[in-house]
Amino acid sequence: MKLRLSHIKIAGFKSFVDPAHITLPGQIVGIVGPNGCGKSNIIDALRWVLGESRASVLRGDSMQDVIFNGSSKRKPISRASVELIFDNSRGKAVGQWSGYSEISIKRVLLRDGDSSYHINNQHVRRKDVTDIFLGTGLGARAYAIIEQGMISRIIEARPEELRMFLEEAAGVSRYRDRRRETELRIADTQGNLLRVDDILQELTHQLAHLEVQAAIAMQYRELQSKRDTAQKLLWLLNKQESQIRQHRFSQALEKTKNELEAESARMHEMENQLESMRNEHYVQSDALHARQGDLYAVNAEIARLEQQLAYSSAQRTRLTQQLANNRQQIKLQQEQLHGIQSSLNQWQKKLEEACTQVADQENRVNAETCNLPQAEEAARDTQALHNSMQLEQMALQQQLQLAKTQCEHIQLNMQRLEARRERLLLEREHLPPVDQEALAEARRILVELECDREERQLQLAQLQAYLSGAHTERNEQRAAMQEQEREQAQAHARLSALEELQEQADNDNRLKQWLARHQLQQHPRLWQSIRIEPGWEDAIEAVLRERVNALALPRLEDAACWEEPPPSRFTVYEAEDMPLFETRKNVGLLPFGQFVRCQDTQTACVMANWLSDIYVTESIVQGLSLRWQLPAGAWFVTPEGHLIGTCSILFHAPDNHVHGILARQREMERLLEVVQQLEQRVTHSQRQTALAEESCRDIENRIALLRAMGSELQKRQHEVQVDILKLTQAGERSQDRTSQIDFELKELSEQSASEKQHFLEIRERMEMLHETIEVQQRETEQVKLQMLSRESELRLQREKLQELRNELQEARFLVKTCMEKIADLNHNLTQTGLTTAQLESMLIQTQAELDQINDEPDRQQLQESLENRQAQEQAMIEMRNQLEQTTRMLSQQEQARLSCEQKLPPLREKINEWSLKEQEARLQYEHWAEQLQGMDETTLLPMLAGANLKPDTLHNELIRLDTEIAGLGAVNLAALEELQSCQERKTYLDIQAKDLNEAMDTLQKAIRRIDKESRDLLISTYDDVNRHLAELFPVLFGGGEARLVLTGDEILDSGIQVMAHPPGKKNSSIHLLSGGEKALTALALVFAMFHLNPAPFCLLDEVDAPLDDTNTERLCKLITKMAENTQFIFISHNKITMELAQQLVGITMQERGVSHVVSVDIEEALRLRTDSTITA
């Protein structure tokens, strides 16, 4: 696979809040910028868009951390997106995307956690993205993305983790995914096989039981037939006895009713007399109540007068007490005035003394304050002089330390220059010559290969055009098929829902159990055999009600044999041919039966019978206007289900039990037809889709063949190009290197002489600095002593001034206290005067109120009211005596009526008793008649008369038969059918178990084949990587050796360790190497994998940071060589590495927290560097 990354688009990812577009036209691209500007965020973006799901790898706590979270000037945003655009013009991509010349991979994440992947603007899964780069070294956790710290993680990784890098280089990840899927299928197959075995064991056990149950079912049917005959005879005897008892109870009931009517007439006469006496009692009671009301009014007036006199007395006492209190308070207020005035004089004297003290203290403080600035100025001057001398001394020390550092640095530079001169001389002696004959032959072969390759490319372009059209046709067929399958699934779902509702319409569990006991559960229902015109479903449900769910029986006489009635309302009808019932003809009325269609003649007869008196009308209003045309007992029915008779209307409300059952049945029949049509259309679409896919596969196979041939040509061409490049570069390198070595040797001599001269100058400067520092230290000590003396004098003077200020503050506080106290006393003096004036005013007002009190008129009026109350009480006593006499007479009459009334309940109870007995006998007669309904009693009477049977005899016979039936236990009446069904199911499961075992064998063979292919591929890759590592390690180190070592015998499970020995070292472990050596070793390992399986591009994030200039140059040379097959994108601060780049991308952060992409002109940068070198 040869893809080249051409564009990177970032928006909202980490610090790239604004959309950034990075164009990558070259094979070696450098990303540069200051620390913290967001360069590494580009590496995180590429890792993220390739499927990384671990937030810690992206330097975050959660995946939402990759979305820009705001800065000091910008608000957070809610969306992050990264898009990679690959150039696939050579058609090297695999899979369904190989036909595109450009492949775009995009990932979008929203703040609410919604993450989506897109390939060429088509929504895909994360697995679809990772599948494109399987086995290429790219992906979320692959080795082609080398970020900060990853070098050390590669070298210090555990052997098992290092093996994962080798698997990625070998492309074993594809096999690993296939093996995992195969293992999951094996686990599912094993689970299915276990379930099938369990079901087979259960079926074998169930078959044994069903054979026994079938024999018991035959015996049960014989006993049940005998019991039905005995039951019918018992019902006939009970019916005859119930009829005799009913006649006897009816005669006794009529006699008791006559006695009750006579007693009732006598009681009515006594109630009329009692009513007259009650009216007289009411008149006397009203007169007594009126007299009592007058007495109450007099008592109320007396109470009012007594309350008024009590209030006047209490008011006089209160006012007298208030006068005394006011006089006492006035006296107290006058005494308080004298005390406040005395205190006010004392505090005014204290205020005068405090003001004098404040003036004295202020004069002393001012005098001391004037002397303080002079002392402070002297101390500051001394302090400033001391500080300036210390700064001068520190500057001299820094200059001395800098000179020492420069001397050490110059000595190190001189040593490095000498070592580099020796290496250059040795390198010049060992430069190889150039082979011109081999170079000419290689160029001839390359021209031939290029012609063959162009011919293959032309053929491939034509097939790809054909493939695009085939894909379009296949996608159209597939979309049409999916749409039809969706319609089919919707129709199936609708049909299943309706079937479930139909089953729920018969969800009475007790009725189901009853039907099962009587072997009626398989009999058809009425709604299954009739069809109603659309819009009249509610009407048929209103007319038939529970009869909609009626059960069809071969003979209605079978219902008489049921030992128990149904547990709920239930209807059965006879499914036998009978004469068709003629509907009564009525001109102008439309029979309801014309809206109903039946599937058989038996049901038609039943419906004609039930609907014979039903006619249709469009509305209630129309029905009411035509109701007088109805025959006797006939009804109108509306589409809503309302029934209209000649003198009544029955309004319909849906019954949940059967509501909608006919409409659902009609909809189910329609859906069955739709499903059948859709199945035919789906089958046709599947055939068309299969043909389109076969055409696509044929073209793809031809394209694959051409690409394989092209790949071989390209591989051969690449090998020849590599040979030419090696030969050409070897000659150029030899000449260039010789000239470069001569130039570098000359520069080294000049630099060495310059460094020696600079070293001597610095030594002379250091001696002068030593002498100056000693003189400066002596002068600084003298100034320090003078500074300490003046600071001590200043501290004593400040302490004295602070004491004076404290005394002044206390004197001012005393003045403030005196002034506040005087203000409080003046306020109290004013308030006391106001209170005294108010008390004197209240005293005058209270005396006036006391003089106005007079209660003599109220006392005279009270005496008159007492005399009037006595006269009223005497009159009321006389009226009460008269009322009591009338009440006694009324009570006597009431007692006589109660005596008569007590004779009625026994008679009513007796009537109820005879009525209940008669009703019981009648209900028993009707019950037994209903049980015998549909049976021919004439056939039973001879059997009853000839045997002279009694109910007890028949009852005992039933008990005996029930005992024998119960002795059989639970009988499975459907045992024969179940036995046959189980045998068929067992045969099917035996075949299924055989298929599952064969599938298990196939999957296990696939596992073994995958392991073999993975093992062979890993061994081959291990050998190739080891070989390349042995070649690259000396190139990067200038010698030494490195190799990979397996930690176990089985390469599929074994770990891998890296053994590296730089030149001149015999270290026992790679962990003993320095940081730079570890980095070079890791790079050698990664580049060795690249030689085997070049990734489309490689990302390097500051991998040259721990390297010196020499090793950096070696790394750059190696990257330049490998850039022929792999695109390199690196981040670096090293000038040598930057010079390697064919294109530079600048990242800046002029706005804090926001990264921007800027273009860098390499030619302009080189020109400026040349100008600066010439100027220097």
Distance spanning both ends of the chain, measured CA to CA: 50
pLDDT (tens digit per residue) in 478-527 = 778 877 777 777 777 667 766 666 665 555 566 666 776 776 666 777 66
HEC profile of 164-212: HHHHHHHCHHHHHHHHHHHHHHHHHHHHHHHHHHHHHHHHHHHHHHHHH
pLDDT (tens digit per residue) in 781-791 = 887 788 888 77
d(C-alpha 1126, C-alpha 27), whole Å: 7
pLDDT grade for 1122, boundaries at 50, 70 and 90: confident
pLDDT (tens digit per residue) in 790-838 = 778 777 877 777 777 777 777 777 777 878 778 877 877 788 778 777 7
Number of H helices, E strands in the chain: 20, 23
Q: What is the CATH number for 134? A: 3.40.50.300
What pLDDT is attached to residue 106?
Answer: 93
* In-domain check, residue 568: yes
What pLDDT is attached to residue 855?
Answer: 66
* In-domain check, residue 371: no
**Count of beta carbons in the 10 Å neighbourhood of residue 78:** 12
* In-domain check, residue 269: no
Q: Cα angle vertex 172, ends 168, 178, to 5°?
A: 130
What pLDDT is attached to residue 148?
Answer: 61
State what percent of residues in the chain have pLDDT above 90: 2
What pLDDT is attached to residue 500?
Answer: 65
What pLDDT is attached to residue 204?
Answer: 78
What pLDDT is attached to residue 1161?
Answer: 59
| 590 phi, psi to nearest 5 deg | -100, 120
Residue 776: closest CA among 391, 379, 381, 400: 391
Separation of CA 457 from chain center: 52
| 743 phi, psi to nearest 5 deg | -65, -40
Q: State yes or no: pLDDT of 694 exceeds 60.
A: yes
Domain endpoint, select from 630, 657, 684: 657
What pLDDT is attached to residue 521?
Answer: 63
Contact residues for 674 (Cβ-Cβ < 8 A; gap 6+): 491
Structure tokens at 980: 């046959």
pLDDT grade for 1174, boundaries at 50, 70 and 90: very low
Structure tokens at 1152: 């804090």
In order of 13, 917, 918, 1012, 1081, the CA distances from 257 in angstroms are 102, 15, 14, 109, 124
Residue pair 352/815 in contact by the 8 Å Cβ criterion: no
Residue pair 1121/733 in contact by the 8 Å Cβ criterion: no
What pLDDT is attached to residue 577?
Answer: 59
Q: State yes or no: pLDDT of 196 exceeds 60.
A: yes
Average pLDDT in the 53-78 region? 83
SS3 call for 384? helix
pLDDT (tens digit per residue) in 950-960 = 777 777 777 77
Average pLDDT in the 457-466 region? 78
Domain endpoint, select from 601, 622, 657: 657
pLDDT (tens digit per residue) in 371-422 = 777 777 777 788 888 778 878 878 777 777 778 877 877 888 788 788 878 8
Between 570 and 21, residue with greater pLDDT: 21
Q: Is 39 annotated as a binding residue?
A: yes
Between 242 and 78, residue with greater pLDDT: 78
Q: State yes or no: pLDDT of 1061 exceeds 80.
A: yes
Whole-number average pLDDT of the chain: 77
Residue pair 406/765 in contact by the 8 Å Cβ criterion: no
Residue pair 716/442 in contact by the 8 Å Cβ criterion: no
Domain endpoint, select from 657, 685, 716: 657
d(C-alpha 577, C-alpha 588), whole Å: 31
* In-domain check, residue 1074: no
Q: State yes or no: pLDDT of 587 exceeds 60.
A: no
Domain range for 578: 506-657
d(C-alpha 109, C-alpha 12), whole Å: 10
What pLDDT is attached to residue 619?
Answer: 84
Region of residue 643 (left: phi > 0; alpha: psi -120 to 50; beta: else) = beta
Q: Is 37 annotated as a binding residue?
A: yes
d(C-alpha 727, C-alpha 705), whole Å: 33
**Count of beta carbons in the 10 Å neighbourhood of residue 1079:** 24
What does pTM read for this prediction? 0.37
How many structural domains does the chain have? Answer: 2
Of 9-23, 41-55, 507-521, the least confident: 507-521
Residue pair 1039/426 in contact by the 8 Å Cβ criterion: no
Q: Is 78 annotated as a binding residue?
A: no
Q: State yes or no: pLDDT of 621 exceeds 50.
A: yes
pLDDT grade for 117, boundaries at 50, 70 and 90: very high
Residue 1019: closest CA among 1058, 1049, 1041, 1042: 1049
* In-domain check, residue 644: yes
Q: Is 35 annotated as a binding residue?
A: yes
pLDDT (tens digit per residue) in 993-1019 = 787 788 778 877 877 787 777 778 778
Q: State yes or no: pLDDT of 71 exceeds 80.
A: yes
Contact residues for 402 (Cβ-Cβ < 8 A; gap 6+): none
Q: Is 135 annotated as a binding residue?
A: no
**Count of beta carbons in the 10 Å neighbourhood of residue 1083:** 25
Separation of CA 583 from chain center: 65
d(C-alpha 1020, C-alpha 371), whole Å: 98
CA atoms within 13 A on the CB side of 430: 5
Q: Is 38 annotated as a binding residue?
A: yes
Residue pair 1061/1038 in contact by the 8 Å Cβ criterion: no
pLDDT grade for 81, boundaries at 50, 70 and 90: very high
Between 727 and 679, residue with greater pLDDT: 679
pLDDT (tens digit per residue) in 907-941 = 778 888 888 878 787 787 777 777 777 777 777 67
| 1160 phi, psi to nearest 5 deg | -125, 125
Residue pair 1052/1018 in contact by the 8 Å Cβ criterion: yes
pLDDT grade for 8, boundaries at 50, 70 and 90: very high
* In-domain check, residue 321: no
What pLDDT is attached to residue 1176?
Answer: 44
* In-domain check, residue 716: no
Of 433-442, 651-660, 930-939, 1097-1106, the least confident: 651-660
What pLDDT is attached to residue 663?
Answer: 64
Burial code (b: 16+ CB inside 10 Å, e: under 16) for 1087-1099 equals: bbbbbbbbbbbbb
In order of 8, 132, 901, 931, 1022, the CA distances from 137 in angstroms are 19, 11, 113, 89, 15
pLDDT grade for 83, boundaries at 50, 70 and 90: very high
d(C-alpha 28, C-alpha 1132), whole Å: 13
pLDDT (tens digit per residue) in 740-768 = 778 778 887 887 888 788 888 888 888 88
Contact residues for 66 (Cβ-Cβ < 8 A; gap 6+): 13, 14, 44, 48, 55, 58, 60, 80, 109
Of 115-119, 164-168, 443-447, 457-461, the least confident: 164-168
Structure tokens at 1144: 């530079």
**Count of beta carbons in the 10 Å neighbourhood of residue 30:** 24
Q: State yes or no: pLDDT of 657 exceeds 70.
A: no
Between 599 and 1033, residue with greater pLDDT: 1033
* In-domain check, residue 774: no
